[in-house]
Structure 1
Amino acid sequence: MPESLRTRLERLAFGLFPAYAGTGARIRYIAADWREVRLELPLGWRTRNYVGTIFGGSMYAAVDPIYMLMLIRNLGPDYVVWDKAASIRFLKPGRGTLAARFTLEEAELDAIRAALRTERSVDRSYAVELTDATGTPHARVEKLLYVRRREPRARSPDLRASP
């Protein structure tokens, strides 16, 4: 699916948002429906560690917010999504640009909605690999996300009304 003008602008905004820009990663693609996101993490002065490979913190930070944002965009405002836990397994040192591809299937969204019809909340696990140009994985990140339906807010009393 091609990018929309909106997702193209959102992709560019990632590069301006200080917390994400500091990772050194670049979002390369966001599908118009937010069901696929691709990013690159180059080896450079901002991402290089003491031994000359990509800093593990940069690897994690590059992928950290993506699945949460994808779920928020796809489930909509009636749902609350939070990161609950994460782990990273380093497989090989990153000596060049690494890439990650995130996908979210409609069946996964349907499963979340169905589970939340009977449960107060659900935890969902997602994994993504950072790979080099040949497809060799260098790190695997697993994210555990918490999802629940948003509870309707109680109306606050009108404090301006006089007794």
Structure 2
Amino acid sequence: MYLIYFSTFEAIPFKRILEKWKLFRFNRMIRKKWPVYHRLGPRFEFVSEDLLKLKIRFPFNNKTKGYNGLHFGGAIYAFVDPLYVYSISENLGSEYLVLDTKAEIDFLKASNQDLVVETEVFPEDIKSIREECRTKKKTTRIYFIEVLDPNGQKIAIVKKTIYIRKLNLSFPITSRL
């Protein structure tokens, strides 16, 4: 009979492998559900358990390159477009409708490097959204997304207006991720 001892030194690599496997599965699921992500190739590098905090890397390659050999602006916008709607929808559940109503993007600098975006929705925001939807039936939120290059310089700033309302039972949403 053999006894296997696991020390804390050996548990750390296993935990890291498990986290990488979860991210791999999450990236694969997102690519199947969102055709734009399948085509452009962004990768989720960090996803919190409650899906409120996301970190995504957007590659610079032939699929994301524009005419001048730099990142194509439409690809940058398509890359950041669904992030807040996804996080909020998954946390509120199927009884809420979450939509983009308005978006603005300011391109500050051109880039030919991979880009990084970090988004975070706080649990207090989710609670206040539920409270407002209970009293007013609907609400809007404004979120800002900073698109950064690997050196931390801002490439673009995206302003998104998100509309949230409590659904009527007669209007079900049938397709969710």
TM-score surpassing 0.5? yes
User: In the aligned structure 2, how far is the partner of 1:24 from the partner of 1:7?
Assistant: 14
Q: Is 2:23–2:44's contact at 8 Å kept on the other side of the alignment? A: no
Q: Tell me, which stretches of 5 or more residues in structure 1 are unaligned?
A: 155-163
Residue identity in the other structure for 1:48: K
TM-superposed deviation, 1:7: 6.4
Residue identity in the other structure for 2:30: F
User: In the aligned structure 2, how far is the partner of 1:28 from the partner of 1:106?
Assistant: 21
Comparing 91-100 with 27-36, which one deviates more in the overlay? Answer: 27-36
Partner of 1:14 in structure 2? 30
User: In the aligned structure 2, how far is the partner of 1:50 from the partner of 1:28?
Assistant: 28
Partner of 2:90 in structure 1? 73
Distance 1:151 1:5, change over 3 A: farther
Partner of 2:155 in structure 1? 138
Residue identity in the other structure for 1:110: K
TM-superposed deviation, 1:94: 1.6
Q: How does 1:1-163 map to 2 (within 5 A)?
A: 9-16=25-32, 17-153=34-170
Residue identity in the other structure for 1:27: F
Q: Is 1:4–1:32's contact at 8 Å kept on the other side of the alignment? A: no
User: In the aligned structure 1, how far is the partner of 2:127 from the partner of 2:95?
Assistant: 14
User: In the aligned structure 2, how far is the partner of 1:40 from the partner of 1:149?
Assistant: 33
Residue identity in the other structure for 2:138: S
- Identity within the alignment, %: 29
User: In the aligned structure 2, how far is the partner of 1:135 from the partner of 1:57?
Assistant: 21
Residue identity in the other structure for 1:21: H
Residue identity in the other structure for 1:140: I
Comparing 90-99 with 20-29, which one deviates more in the overlay? Answer: 20-29
Residue identity in the other structure for 1:106: P
User: In the aligned structure 2, how far is the partner of 1:6 from the partner of 1:42?
Assistant: 20
Residue identity in the other structure for 1:144: T
- Structure richer in helix, relative to its length: 2
How many residues get paired? 153
Residue identity in the other structure for 1:52: G
1:22 is paired with a residue whose SS is: helix
TM-score normalised by length of structure 2:
0.79
